[in-house]
Amino acid sequence: MRKYGVVGLLSWLVVSTMTAAWAQSGPCMAVLKGRIVGKDSREPLPGSTAYIRELGTGAVLDTSGYFRLTNLCPGKYTVDYQFVGYKTVTLPVVITRDTLITVPVIQLAPDNQMLQEVVVTEHRSEAQQLLQTQSSLSGAALDQTRGQSLGESLKTITGLYSIQTGPTVSKPVIHGLYSNRIIILNNGIRQEDQQWGTEHAPQVDQFLASRLTVIKGAASIRYGSDAIGGVILVEPKEMPTQSGVRGEANLVGATNGRMGVASGMLQGAFGKTLPGLSWRLQGTLKRSGFVRTPTYFLANTSYHETNYSGDIHYQLNKWGIEAFYSQFDTKIGLFTGAQVGSLDDLYAAISRPEPLSQPGFSYALDRPYQAVRHNLLKIRTDYHTAKGGILTATVARQQNTRQEYDFLSFSGLTNPELSLKLVTHTTDLVWEHRDIKTPVGGHWSGSVGFNGITQGNVRQYLFLIPNFRSYGAGLFAIERYASGRVTLEAGLRYDYRWLRAYFLRDGTNQPYNTTHNWQNANGSLGAAYQLRPDLSLTANLSTAWRAPNVADLYSNGLHQSAVAYEIGNPGLKPEQAYNSNAVLAYSGHRLSGEVGFYNNLINNYIYLKPDSVPIIRQRGAFPAYTYTQVRATFRGIDATLNYKITPHLTLATKNSLLFAYNQTEQNYLVFIPPNRSDNSLRYDLSQWGTLSDVYMSVSGLYVARQNRAPAVTTRQQDGQVIFTGDFAPPPPAYFLLGAEVGFTARIGAHPLSVILSGTNLANTAYRDYLNRFRYYADEPGRSLILKLRLPFSVGKQT
Partner 1 sequence: MNPVKKQLLWLSCVLLVTASCSKDEQNVTPTDDNEAITTATLTLTNKATPTERVTATIENLNTTADFSKATLNLKANTTYTGVITLLDKTKTPTLDATQEIRGKANEHLFVYTPTPASLLTITPMDRDTNPAPGPYPTGLATEIKTGAAGTGKLKVVLRHQPGSKNGTPTPGTSDLDTDFPVVVN
Residue whose CB is less far from partner 1, 152 or 354: 354
**3-state SS track over 304-329:** EEEEEEEEEEEEECCEEEEEEEEEEE
Q: Which of 408, 488, 525, 691 binds partner 1 (CB under 8 A)?
A: 408
290 belongs to the binding site for partner 1 (CB under 8 A): no
412 belongs to the binding site for partner 1 (CB under 8 A): yes
Contacts with partner 1 by CB under 8 A: the residue count is 59
Q: Quick count: other Cβ atoms within 10 Å of Cβ 380?
A: 19
Residue whose CB is less far from partner 1, 284 or 403: 403
64 belongs to the binding site for partner 1 (CB under 8 A): no
321 belongs to the binding site for partner 1 (CB under 8 A): no
160 belongs to the binding site for partner 1 (CB under 8 A): no
Closest among 448, 431, 438, 531 to 481, alpha carbons compared? 438
β pairing state of 106-108 and 30-38: parallel
**3-class SS at 581?**
strand
**3-class SS at 485?**
coil
Find the shortest distance in angstroms from Cβ 471 to partner 1. 8
β pairing state of 182-186 and 230-236: parallel
Residue whose CB is less far from partner 1, 215 or 558: 558
Could you tell me which stretch among 35-43, 250-258, 270-278, 381-389 binds partner 1 (CB under 8 A)? Answer: 381-389
20 belongs to the binding site for partner 1 (CB under 8 A): no
Residue whose CB is less far from partner 1, 280 or 459: 459
384 belongs to the binding site for partner 1 (CB under 8 A): no
Strand partners, 283: 264, 308
751: left (phi over 0), alpha (psi -120 to 50) or beta: beta
Q: How far apart are CA 581 and CA 133, in angstroms?
A: 8
425 belongs to the binding site for partner 1 (CB under 8 A): yes
59 belongs to the binding site for partner 1 (CB under 8 A): no
Q: What is the DSSP letter of 205?
A: -
561 belongs to the binding site for partner 1 (CB under 8 A): no
360 belongs to the binding site for partner 1 (CB under 8 A): no
Q: Where are the beta strands (DSSP E) in 255-345?
A: 259-269, 277-288, 291-292, 297-298, 303-316, 319-333
Q: Compute CA 223 distance to the chain's CA centroid, rounded to the nearest angstrom.
A: 14
413 belongs to the binding site for partner 1 (CB under 8 A): yes
Which of the residues 445 through 464 are near partner 1 (CB under 8 A)?
450, 452, 454, 456-463
Residue whose CB is less far from partner 1, 618 or 646: 618
391 belongs to the binding site for partner 1 (CB under 8 A): yes
Find the shortest distance in angstroms from Cβ 357 to partner 1. 6
Q: What is the DSSP letter of 419?
A: E
Find the shortest distance in angstroms from Cβ 353 to partner 1. 14
Find the shortest distance in angstroms from Cβ 721 to partner 1. 14
429 belongs to the binding site for partner 1 (CB under 8 A): yes
Residue whose CB is less far from partner 1, 240 or 557: 557
Dihedral sign computed on CA atoms, order 272, 274, 275, 277: negative
Closest among 696, 698, 724, 693 to 711, alpha carbons compared? 724
Could you tell me which stretch among 39-47, 216-224, 467-475, 575-583 binds partner 1 (CB under 8 A)? Answer: 467-475
Q: Which of 371, 393, 477, 786 binds partner 1 (CB under 8 A)?
A: 393
> Are 81 and 52 within 8 A, CB to CB?
no
Find the shortest distance in angstroms from Cβ 320 to partner 1. 13
383 belongs to the binding site for partner 1 (CB under 8 A): yes
Find the shortest distance in angstroms from Cβ 193 to partner 1. 17
Find the shortest distance in angstroms from Cβ 273 to partner 1. 29
Per-position DSSP letters for 43-110, written without gaps between them: SB-TT-EEEETTTTEEEE--TTSEEEEEEEPSEEEEEEEE-TTB--EEEEEEE-TT-EEEPPPEEEPB
- Interhelix angle 2-23/115-122, nearest 10 degrees: 70
Find the shortest distance in angstroms from Cβ 426 to partner 1. 8
Quote the longest CA-to-CA distance of the chain: 104
Q: Which of 123, 237, 397, 705 binds partner 1 (CB under 8 A)?
A: 397
Which of the residues 589 through 628 are near partner 1 (CB under 8 A)?
616-621
323 belongs to the binding site for partner 1 (CB under 8 A): no
Close Cβ partners of 695 (under 8 Å, ≥ 6 residues apart): 682, 683, 684, 685, 740, 741, 742, 743
Closest among 671, 698, 648, 637 to 772, alpha carbons compared? 671
Residues 489-528: x where in contact with partner 1 by CB under 8 A, - otherwise, as a string: -------------xxx----x-x-----------------
Residue whose CB is less far from partner 1, 262 or 616: 616
Q: How far apart are CA 366 and CA 405, in angstroms?
A: 9
Q: How far apart are CA 317 and CA 320, in angstroms?
A: 8
Contacting positions for partner 1 (CB under 8 A)? 339-342, 344-345, 348, 356-357, 381, 383, 388, 391, 393, 395, 397, 406-413, 415, 417, 421, 423, 425, 427, 429, 431, 450, 452, 454, 456-463, 466-469, 471, 502-504, 509, 511, 616-621
